[in-house]
Amino acid sequence: MFSLKGKSAVITGGGSGIGRAIAVLFAKQGAVVHIIEVNDEASTGTIAEINKFNGEAIGYRCDVTSQQQVVDIFNKIGTIDILVNNAGIAHIGRADNTSEEDFTKVFNVNVKGAYNCLFAAIPLMKKTGTGAVLNMASIAAIVGITDRFAYSMSKGAIAAMTLSVARDYMADGIRCNSISPARVHTPFVDGFIAKNYAGQEKEIFEKLSKSQPIGRMGTSEEIASMALYLCSDEAGFITGNDYPVDGGFVKLNN
């Protein structure tokens, strides 16, 4: 079950964190993995890990905010069976202290970047009459998160885009779903804590972990497992849905 043998999977932001875990798992399941990153170095570690078990992975330097770059690379790839829109950036701030520059940057990477990849991938999927799109949303699109104004905006847009794509391309054999993680332990989390809470790393990590009802942060591998299911043929009857992978955060955090 959950074999991706013979499938071509494009994963944006596949160089670290959740994107890396998805890329590695998809390659283990037989997919040819195409890693889209803003610089070559970001994908090197992922490709090396995949090469250890003789998986197949190719890295591409691409700024997802540039539609022309995305279109050119996707056309070069040619056949795309799976698209995982995972690339994104975070931002801390409220509506009255988020600068226009920061708001625009978050929008361009998180929202326009996903749009550009959809714009480029969907025509290729329509040619083959099949395709699975997975967008990385967030619990920030479902519940209010303090100091995450621009980030929440971007993930709310991802949730809405998921529904639109699922509806518009159902007749073309293209499915589209999203995952909404809660806090996941990634290098970004460690960097955020080190930058903002120097000397209190252990205490803050524990506090953030316990903010999840289950008592810990999620792992990138746990998100990747859900991604594998949603992009596999076994999920062929599922489209237009969002799946919180959140340790109970949305329903049990009271």
Q: Domain of 74?
A: 8-182+219-246
If you average pLDDT over every residue of the chain, what do you get?
96
Alpha-carbon span 178 to 71, nearest angstrom: 22
Q: Where are the alpha helices (DSSP H) in 129-219?
A: 149-168, 187-196, 201-210
Same domain, yes or no, for 199 and 156? no
How many domains are contained in the chain? Answer: 2
Which CATH number do you get for residue 87? 3.40.50.720
How is residue 80 annotated by DSSP? -
Same domain, yes or no, for 97 and 213? no
Q: Tell me the pLDDT band of 192, cut-offs 50, 70 and 90.
A: confident
What is the tens place of the pLDDT at every residue in 55-83? 999 999 999 999 999 999 999 999 999 99
Residue 32 resides in a domain: yes
151 is catalytic: yes
Are the CB atoms for 44 and 116 separated by under 8 Å?
no
Give me the mean pLDDT over the 208-229 stretch: 96
Give me the mean pLDDT over the 170-184 stretch: 97
Are the CB atoms for 111 and 155 separated by under 8 Å?
no
Same domain, yes or no, for 102 and 223? yes
Same domain, yes or no, for 193 and 88? no
Same domain, yes or no, for 107 and 147? yes
Same domain, yes or no, for 33 and 105? yes
Same domain, yes or no, for 238 and 202? no
Residues of the chain with pLDDT > 70: what percent? 100
Same domain, yes or no, for 73 and 191? no
Residue 74 resides in a domain: yes
Same domain, yes or no, for 24 and 130? yes
Catalytic, out of 60, 151, 169, 243: 151
How is residue 31 annotated by DSSP? P
Alpha-carbon span 168 to 162, nearest angstrom: 10
Nearest 10 degrees: Cα torsion 156, 34, 90, 103: -70
Alpha-carbon span 23 to 46, nearest angstrom: 7
Residue 3 resides in a domain: no
What is the tens place of the pLDDT at every residue in 225-245? 999 999 999 999 999 999 999
Is 254's pLDDT higher than 70?
no
Residue whose C-alpha is closest to residue 154's, from 180, 183, 190:
180
Give me the mean pLDDT over the 124-136 stretch: 98
- Is the CA virtual torsion 110, 112, 115, 117 positive or negative? negative
Residue 2 resides in a domain: no
What is the tens place of the pLDDT at every residue in 110-129? 999 999 999 999 999 999 99
Same domain, yes or no, for 132 and 213? no
What is the tens place of the pLDDT at every residue in 13-54? 999 999 999 999 999 999 999 999 998 899 999 999 999 999
Assign 237 to helix, strand or coil. coil
Lowest mean pLDDT among 92-101, 186-195, 234-243: 186-195
Same domain, yes or no, for 138 and 232? yes
Residue 252 resides in a domain: no
The tokens describing 142, both together, are 């479902």
Same domain, yes or no, for 199 and 149? no
The tokens describing 116, both together, are 């550009």
